[in-house]
Amino acid sequence: MKDQRVTRIEDLPGPKSQGELEEMKMPYEEYCRKVFAPGQEKTKPEALKGIRWLSTTMYIFTPHSVANLAELGAECIKIEMPRMGDPMRHTSPFNECYLYPLHDTRPMTGTGLGFTNANSNEYYISMDYHVPEMKEAFYRLVKLSDGLTECYRPGTFDRWKQSYRYLQEINPRFIYVWGGGFGYGPKVFGGSYDILGQAHAGLASVTGFHEDFGGHCTKHSNWCIDWYSGTQITVAILAALYWRRKTGLGTMIEFSQVQAATRCLGYAAPLYGRFGIVRQRWGNWDTQLCVHGIILCGKSDYPDEPNPQLKYEARYAVVSAFNDPDFKELCAIIGRNDLWDQYKTLQDRVRPEAQIVIYKALEEWAADKTRSQVVKTLTDAGLLAMPVMNDKEVYESEHFRQRGTVRWLEDPLFGDVLIQSGHSAGLLSKTPRRVNWIWRPVGADNVKIYHEMLGYPMSKIEEWYEKNLI
């Protein structure tokens, strides 16, 4: 007897509609522009819609882990201490740049731009959650939520009876994240900031120039370990959500900021463990590839700028020519064919003594040139070169603008705000990230959460407010 089943068009290979057929004919870049469609994110669904997450976090690294969820569509509730809020609100570059107000009782106090990017799209409530009067409200939030991230000293939430082993009894599907400095072990009570993470994990020891070149161990100017650690926590949360989907059970995630920084070090610990070699700083060059580094050019791209950061610092360029044909071409361009005769293999070029000679020759060649001239000369010859860009140039970059990396947001409270990477930190064609607002004042959503979601009467909310409990 013949099989009478009908084959659906959806099961057949190839395009299923005229629109899909047209997409298949597009050049690849045009296809990417169409499917990612920067600026059209809000017309598409959100990957984590339906997930509710609580954030009892401060500063950057744990807040950023929750902001990632919020940008992907989760309903995230930031719980701050009454009146003051997250300490990061009180930081800003050189104490100059603030957006007002901080709180309805403090209209002349603002939130500093140091708070930017780590708390976007979240709802803001205030709660002194360690006092007995607020335990019921806190536990009710836990019952209605999928998870929580906290960053207090280890055991603090346990003393307050709101750690994982208490909350899993209230909500067995609950996912609990602790993020802090060291985690359990000999330094369990050691606090941490980004600079401590860079230092204690060994990252600062390999950042900067070697002492032979007048260098010293260097802290990265930005809080790179905070941002890096936050993203790693988000990955763990997504894995925990997937695990819960399979088992129905929550889990606890314990995340050490210092431990995360060790992952940035690549081969450093294995190098010592196997060969007893302590990795050295090598500045703007590379210990494994040459040429593959940053050189200083003699002239500025902005010679008449009053801003010294533009006038004197816009002189650096990345040059990469580490394979043999590219290095030979580079030597010809700078008029130093003798370097090619002397260092014809990567093994010859990567030695410290060779790198000193090669980079010195490159900077001598660039001494009478601007950064733009150096980059154009090398790229015209088919070599890889790029200016080291500053914030102004990132803002003006057509590449970043077309991808939506840098864009203006009409924030509901603060008006026009320039944002970076909230939409383009990993493009998703079907469920893209998005930024709806950068932040809200302390306690801005107290009525929405306590009254509209949890059902507390306004009289109770006002009572809590008068007692400084929210």
Query: What CA–CA distance (Å, rounded) separates 240 from 261?
Result: 22
Asked whether the CA dihedral 354, 359, 360, 361 is positive or negative, the reply is: positive
Listed in sequence order, the DSSP H helices in 305-433 are: 308-313, 324-333, 337-342, 346-349, 352-365, 371-380, 391-396, 398-403
> Amino acid letter at 433?
R
Q: Which two tokens stand for residue 412?
A: 């509901």
Query: What CA–CA distance (Å, rounded) separates 230 from 257?
Result: 9
> Amino acid letter at 160?
W
Domains of the chain in start order, with CATH, are 43-263+409-467 (3.40.50.10540), 291-395 (3.30.1540.10)
**Torsion angle of C-alpha atoms 66, 67, 69, 73, degrees rounded to 10:** 140
Of 53, 454, 390, 13, whose CA–CA distance to 234 is shortest? 53
3-state secondary structure 255-281: EEHHHHHHHCCCCHHHHHHHHCCCCCC
The string of DSSP letters for 103-152 reads: BTTBTT--EEGGGTTSSTT-EEEE--TTSGGGHHHHHHHHHT-SEEEE-S
Pairing of strands 292-296, 316-320: antiparallel
pLDDT score recorded for residue 410: 93
Query: What CA–CA distance (Å, rounded) separates 470 from 468?
Result: 5
Residues, the chain, total? Answer: 470
Q: Is 71 helix (H, G, I), strand (E, B) or coil?
A: helix
Do the beta carbons of residue 66 and residue 122 sit within 8 Å?
Answer: yes
Helix (H) or strand (E) holding 54: strand 52-56
Q: Is 317 helix (H, G, I), strand (E, B) or coil?
A: strand
Do the beta carbons of residue 244 and residue 250 sit within 8 Å?
Answer: yes
**pLDDT beneath 50, residues of the chain:** none
Q: Which residues of 265-286 are buried (b: 16+ CB within 10 A; e: fewer)?
A: beebeeeeeeeeeebebbbbbb
Residues 6+ positions from 107 with CB-CB distance below 8 Å: 100, 101
The phi, psi pair for 24, rounded to 5°, reads: -65, -25
Pairing of strands 251-256, 292-296: unpaired
Query: What CA–CA distance (Å, rounded) separates 448 from 413?
Result: 16
- pLDDT tens per residue across span 47-59: 999 999 999 999 9
Omega within 30 of 0 (cis) for the link into 107? no
> Amino acid letter at 104?
D
Do the beta carbons of residue 120 and residue 67 sit within 8 Å?
Answer: yes
Query: What CA–CA distance (Å, rounded) separates 307 from 122?
Result: 36
Region label for 391, one of left (φ > 0), alpha (ψ between -120 and 50) or beta (otherwise): alpha
Residues 6+ positions from 333 with CB-CB distance below 8 Å: 377, 378, 381, 383
Residues 6+ positions from 77 with CB-CB distance below 8 Å: 52, 53, 54, 55, 122, 123, 124, 125, 141, 145, 445, 449
Of 387, 225, 208, whose CA–CA distance to 314 is shortest? 387
Q: Tokens 């050295």 appear where?
A: 280
Can you give the pTM of this predicted structure? 0.90
pLDDT score recorded for residue 7: 67
Do the beta carbons of residue 317 and residue 386 sit within 8 Å?
Answer: yes
Residues 6+ positions from 206 with CB-CB distance below 8 Å: 265, 268, 279, 280, 281, 282
